[in-house]
Structure 1
């Protein structure tokens, strides 16, 4: 390990990436670096924002592996038999899980109605009511918040368990990850406090008990690194197949593309064709998996707007330190 480069990297964290609370680097399955910043420790748990989506993708894959869901080509409405489609709304009837996983489903809103969403008691029904419309099915439209909850509802209905219960049994517990409880906010102030907290272990849920799909999970950087290593190892963890290699291959290859940002998308994972794949969340939360170098870099961060590009920073200043 190049100590001079390491010192420079840590100085950059202190001066230029002040919201980073912790970082872990794995190389060839071994911890090469683990450090915490700004009063945080290995016991801290941070809201990882949209990295939650990639965790949900894993759970959908496990549900398919175990037969709870047939395949990604199932229609969304198959899982909501009691949902009443609005008059003249036909688009929703041809939307599949794959469209949700690849961000190629249309929605009826131009500007996301965040306030109405957060004050809704039922995130899934609220989102289903916005699904469809005049947009073209198959066109990429990244929905950071209002959209993925439908997948949470599908997983809940298909398994007859909460997303957190299913995750604990089939993913978290096998990997030694603890997520203590579901969290339902009683006020805007509680939610804002949650976003800034470093000591809450949980997964946000709406008033009906359905865990959020696009945000709301708290993990440590070591937890995040374990997820990355699981995918790097083809779904194997301590000689046990947690999720099928087939699902990993499918979920981390390009299925859609955000042309404006020149970014490739898999099944709720961002894809780099040459290097690997990654999960990204607001504030610079990231699980970066370099399949060529057999490296995993995970960073947990508190939210600040307009953070510097963490992926370019990882490539330029972090990866080279641990190449040997």
Structure 2
């Protein structure tokens, strides 16, 4: 059984040191052992999970491969966009593959991300394609938080013939009992900023062309996040139903590239740590999976710059409290 005094101590630490946390859900051996909310949030609150969205895109790519919509990740990116004509005659973009996008080893033409132009673009996929390639070397890790991942949304859309939202709803969200109500389009900067802070919007950001964002823009509850982590801890099974292949889960959560400057390992849009893997987003949003301890931790957080490292927080304050937890 859980030691209640231990959990009260944890909640005190969260309030003191991680004041922007909205909710925490902890699963041990597939069972919910702890669920608690902060900052006025509840189980029905929906939080913008920022870059955790990338890992959901990775799951969807795996499902699309399983279903035969995508042959393999060795396919060239431009094969999915037959009508796209690169603005400049350069060879690099011709050789970028789906694998390069998934492992953050694709080069881009920008040195400083043109965020204003990106957020005001009518077609974020084409905008990102226009910046793909350049003089950089394919295979070198370059983490691109926003401008670049949307190409994966375009690939999913073109390969499946469905919007990313519809494909995800059919093959991932509904089977796991996750509710994402609608695509959300912003008509102003103010609407987008309000979305970032909201706790009552269930949706996925979409650009004016109708394509859902890949690097940010999805809102979920901590329970939803925990389900996605548990799905991967289960090797792609949910309630004995195959959602995504075990092979994809295994490959996604192995090191395929590395951010040397930060000493971080990367899989297919999942961060790899010594005991498992994690999806991480701005503000301290995280889906953390420890495969050795059969533990899943989901933390949803209201946006705040420069938060404490959530992985270190989990390892120091959460994992020790569940060392001997039994069903």
CA distance in 2, matches of 1:271, 1:46: 24
After TM superposition, the structure 1 = structure 2 runs for residues 19-34 of structure 1, keeping only pairs within 5 Å, are 19-34=20-35
Bigger mean CA deviation after superposition, 189-198 or 314-323: 314-323
CA distance in 1, matches of 2:224, 2:182: 16
* C-alpha deviation, 1:323, in angstroms: 1.9
The equivalent residue for 1:295 is 295
The equivalent residue for 2:120 is 119
After TM superposition, the structure 1 = structure 2 runs for residues 67-86 of structure 1, keeping only pairs within 5 Å, are 67-86=68-87
Task: Determine whether 1:110 maps to 2:138.
Answer: no
Q: Count how many residue pairs are aligned between Structure 1 and Structure 2.
A: 323
* C-alpha deviation, 1:228, in angstroms: 0.4
Bigger mean CA deviation after superposition, 170-179 or 12-21: 12-21
1:199-254: CA deviations, max 9, x gaps? 00000000010000000000000000000000000000011100000000000000
* C-alpha deviation, 1:87, in angstroms: 3.0
Native 8 Å contact 1:5 1:317 kept in 2: no
The equivalent residue for 1:280 is 280
The equivalent residue for 2:270 is 269
The equivalent residue for 2:311 is 311
Native 8 Å contact 1:45 1:220 kept in 2: yes
The equivalent residue for 2:138 is 137
Query: Which sections of structure 2, spanning at least 5 residues, go unmatched?
Result: none
* C-alpha deviation, 1:88, in angstroms: 2.3
1:288-313: CA deviations, max 9, x gaps? 00000000000000110000011111
* C-alpha deviation, 1:3, in angstroms: 2.8
Q: Secondary structure at the match of 1:277?
A: strand
* C-alpha deviation, 1:2, in angstroms: 2.7
* C-alpha deviation, 1:14, in angstroms: 1.1
After TM superposition, the structure 1 = structure 2 runs for residues 201-220 of structure 1, keeping only pairs within 5 Å, are 201-220=202-221
Q: Secondary structure at the match of 1:117?
A: helix
CA distance in 1, matches of 2:30, 2:183: 31
CA RMSD of aligned residues (A): 0.6
CA distance in 2, matches of 1:87, 1:138: 21
CA distance in 2, matches of 1:312, 1:9: 14
Query: Which sections of structure 1, spanning at least 5 residues, go unmatched?
Result: none
Q: Secondary structure at the match of 1:164?
A: helix
Bigger mean CA deviation after superposition, 44-53 or 81-90: 81-90
Task: Determine whether 1:200 maps to 2:201.
Answer: yes
TM-score of the two chains, using structure 2 as the length reference: 0.98
CA distance in 1, matches of 2:285, 2:252: 20
CA distance in 2, matches of 1:245, 1:267: 14
Native 8 Å contact 1:100 1:148 kept in 2: yes
* C-alpha deviation, 1:163, in angstroms: 0.3
Task: Determine whether 1:189 maps to 2:204.
Answer: no
TM-score of the two chains, using structure 1 as the length reference: 0.99
* C-alpha deviation, 1:193, in angstroms: 0.2
The equivalent residue for 1:52 is 53
Q: Secondary structure at the match of 1:227?
A: helix
* C-alpha deviation, 1:86, in angstroms: 2.3
Native 8 Å contact 1:232 1:289 kept in 2: yes
